[in-house]
């Protein structure tokens, strides 16, 4: 069979990570084909309540910088299939007097204890903190954007074979061959691309099987609302019949056999210690705390992103944010290399920047499992953590980790802003930094530097947009170089060497002028 078409990039997987990456690549001018093995992306598990996701601050910033935030944040807690907010869609924390800022292993920390002043300049404007939404809503918004940007999407096309050659990658999917310069696997935890590409996947095996179910019970009174630790596991109950529970069986039931009403009833009785009767099972899925990560994110012309290169338990909702961060990091770099503006070496920074972030999230997941174990020592640790989270320092620390406020790439520069997300400063022309980044270009912010820096910046043409910021008196900065993903790549506090050091930094991120 002959090759049917040629693209700059083929992406396997039309989930949020694959769609967002496709948008980033198109923004950089690359031609993109997305292959999705499912015939239809729709699933009741993507709707509320099971589809509820918490978007971290870095994710909210990324959506803002690509003009997607307003669309994603519209009616985030609305029950899509009915248009109304029902009791079954309400998270258990919505019944509480204090509003939680998140949780660690089910132990909540509260907004009234968080010291947000420590992030002054970060939570401003459109980004005021993490954002709740649904997986269905997010995918819908991204699907509309990819279509508008000219991304080609083929549903029902499972990747069957990949072959790397000197001039690119040939992908066999859906009975046809397609050719591309690059292939990116965004096809989930059981990634076909990862397996066919020969990537090594290492980590720790599961301790439990997790269940998310929608049931009817003969009587709901015996089960208390909210998250409950028991001598045999943990469960969370929302009326009338939404239950999440973990059974410490080393994950043996996950995908082992069909989930029946009788099985759910048996597990619920064992985990809760309550003699409940499940009369009907409407929806059920399982998951585990298996934590694995690929030892490489690239092999030749093949990349991995999202769950394809790291999997862990869904505790705390970190996986989606981690994958979207992968897409934001890889997209502009790969597009720049495709345009021929930067050397291939830039792509090595995708692994060096993202792999440590993934490793931190996997350890964060493992630490939560240690607290959740049904043992006296875990319950003792839980009590200590609850006390710590009720302190201002403790709540702020956990918010910093869960919200993504501590994210920083090691770019070899000791300046505290380098490697961090740029504040959404208001510029002298009335726009903000986030709005200036919507075109996917790098951004030079200068605060009264002499003309020599402007002259050097002009050598990179359209790839760097100069913009003077206001309201920056007293910050001790003369200029900032912001990468297309909103990360500060260079900062200068002096005028004397600004032009020289800027030139070196710009060459690193954008190639020779």
Q: Which CATH number fits domain 209-288: 3.40.50.300, 3.30.70.2450, 3.30.9.10, 2.30.42.10?
A: 3.30.70.2450
Per-residue model confidence (pLDDT) at position 391 = 98
- Interior/surface letters 302-316, b for 16+ CB within 10 angstroms, e for the rest: bbbbbbbbbbbbbbb
The helix or strand, by DSSP H or E, that contains position 344, with its residue range, turns out to be: none
275 three-class SS: coil
List Cα–Cα distances, 237 to 103, 215, 268, 272, 373, in angstroms: 16, 11, 11, 10, 19
Q: Which residue has the tokens 């986030």?
A: 434
Per-residue model confidence (pLDDT) at position 316 = 75
The answer to whether the beta carbons of residues 478 and 495 sit under 8 Å apart is: yes
Distance CA 259, CA 368 (A): 26
The reply to whether 3-90+130-203+292-372 and 433-510 are identical in fold is no
Sequence-ordered strand ranges (E) for 51-146? 52-55, 100-104, 107-110, 131-134
- The burial class, CB within 10 Å (0-12 / 13-18 / 19+), for 507 is middle
Per-residue model confidence (pLDDT) at position 471 = 64
The answer to whether the beta carbons of residues 57 and 401 sit under 8 Å apart is: no
The answer to whether the beta carbons of residues 115 and 392 sit under 8 Å apart is: yes
Q: Where are the domains of the chain?
A: 3-90+130-203+292-372, 209-288, 433-510
DSSP state of 315: G
Token pair, residue 66, equals 């690509």
Distance CA 469, CA 189 (A): 43
pTM: 0.93
| pLDDT per residue rounded down to tens, the chain (513 residues) | 344 579 999 999 999 999 999 999 999 999 999 999 999 988 888 888 888 889 999 999 999 999 999 999 875 454 443 333 333 444 444 556 788 899 999 899 999 999 998 887 777 777 888 999 999 999 999 999 999 999 999 999 999 999 999 889 999 999 999 999 999 999 999 999 999 999 999 999 999 999 999 999 997 667 888 889 999 999 999 988 999 999 999 999 998 889 999 999 999 999 999 999 999 999 999 999 999 999 999 999 999 999 999 999 988 778 999 999 999 999 999 999 999 999 999 999 999 999 999 999 999 999 999 999 999 999 999 999 999 999 999 999 999 999 999 999 999 998 999 999 998 988 888 899 999 999 999 999 888 666 678 778 888 877 888 888 776 655 678 889 999 999 999 998 877 778 888 888 999 999 887
Domain 3-90+130-203+292-372 annotated CATH 2.30.30.30 = no
Distance CA 232, CA 271 (A): 5
CATH code reported for the domain at 433-510: 3.40.30.120
Per-residue model confidence (pLDDT) at position 248 = 95
Distance CA 330, CA 305 (A): 8
The helix or strand, by DSSP H or E, that contains position 473, with its residue range, turns out to be: none
Please spell the DSSP secondary structure of 415-434, one letter per residue: STTTTSBPP-PBBTTS-BHH
Q: Which residue has the tokens 């292993």?
A: 105
């Amino acid at each position: 069979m002959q090759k049917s078409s040629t693209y700059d990039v083929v992406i396997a997987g039309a989930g949020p990570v694959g769609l967002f990456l496709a948008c980033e690549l198109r923004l950089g001018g690359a031609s993109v084909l997305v292959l999705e093995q499912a015939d239809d992306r729709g699933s009741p598990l993507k709707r509320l309540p099971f589809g509820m996701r918490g978007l971290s601050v870095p994710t909210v910033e990324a959506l803002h910088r690509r003009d997607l935030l307003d669309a994603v944040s519209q009616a985030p807690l609305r029950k899509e299939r009915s248009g109304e907010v029902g009791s079954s869609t309400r998270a258990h924390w919505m019944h509480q007097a204090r509003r939680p800022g998140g949780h660690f292993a089910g132990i909540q920390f509260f907004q009234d204890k968080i010291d947000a002043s420590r992030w002054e300049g970060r939570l401003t404007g459109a980004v005021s903190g993490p954002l709740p939404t649904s997986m269905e809503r997010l995918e819908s918004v991204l699907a509309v954007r990819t279509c508008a940007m000219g991304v080609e999407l083929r549903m029902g096309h499972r990747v069957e074979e990949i072959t790397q050659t000197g001039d690119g990658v040939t992908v066999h999917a859906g009975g046809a061959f397609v050719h591309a310069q690059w292939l990116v696997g965004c096809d989930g935890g059981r990634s076909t691309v990862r397996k066919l590409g020969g990537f090594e996947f290492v980590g720790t095996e599961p301790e439990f099987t997790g269940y998310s179910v929608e049931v009817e019970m003969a009587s709901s009174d015996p089960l208390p609302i909210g998250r409950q630790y028991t001598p045999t596991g943990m469960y969370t109950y929302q009326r009338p019949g939404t239950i999440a529970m973990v059974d410490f069986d080393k994950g043996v039931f996950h995908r082992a056999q069909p989930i029946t009403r009788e099985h759910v009833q048996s597990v619920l009785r064992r985990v809760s210690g309550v003699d409940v009767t499940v009369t009907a099972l409407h929806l059920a899925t399982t998951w585990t705390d298996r934590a694995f990560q690929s030892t490489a994110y690239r092999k030749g012309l093949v990349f991995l992103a999202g769950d394809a290169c790291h999997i862990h338990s869904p505790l705390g909702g970190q996986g989606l944010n981690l994958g979207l961060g992968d897409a934001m990091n890889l997209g502009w770099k790969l597009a720049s290399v495709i345009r021929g503006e930067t050397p291939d070496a830039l792509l090595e920074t995708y692994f060096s920047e993202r792999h440590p972030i993934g490793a931190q999230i996997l350890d964060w997941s493992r630490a939560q499992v240690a607290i959740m174990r049904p043992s006296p020592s875990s319950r003792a640790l839980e009590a200590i953590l609850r006390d710590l989270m009720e302190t201002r320092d403790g709540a702020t620390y956990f918010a910093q980790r869960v919200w993504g406020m501590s994210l920083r790439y090691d770019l070899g520069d000791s300046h505290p802003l380098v490697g961090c997300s740029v504040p959404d400063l208001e510029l002298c022309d009335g726009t903000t930094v986030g709005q200036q980044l919507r075109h996917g270009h790098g951004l030079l912010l200068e605060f009264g530097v002499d003309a020599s820096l402007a002259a050097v910046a002009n050598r990179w043409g359209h790839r760097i947009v100069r913009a003077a910021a206001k309201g920056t008196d007293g910050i001790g900065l003369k200029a900032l170089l912001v990468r297309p993903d909103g990360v500060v790549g260079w900062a200068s506090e002096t005028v004397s060497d600004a032009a020289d050091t800027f030139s070196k930094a710009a060459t690193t991120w954008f190639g020779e002028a």
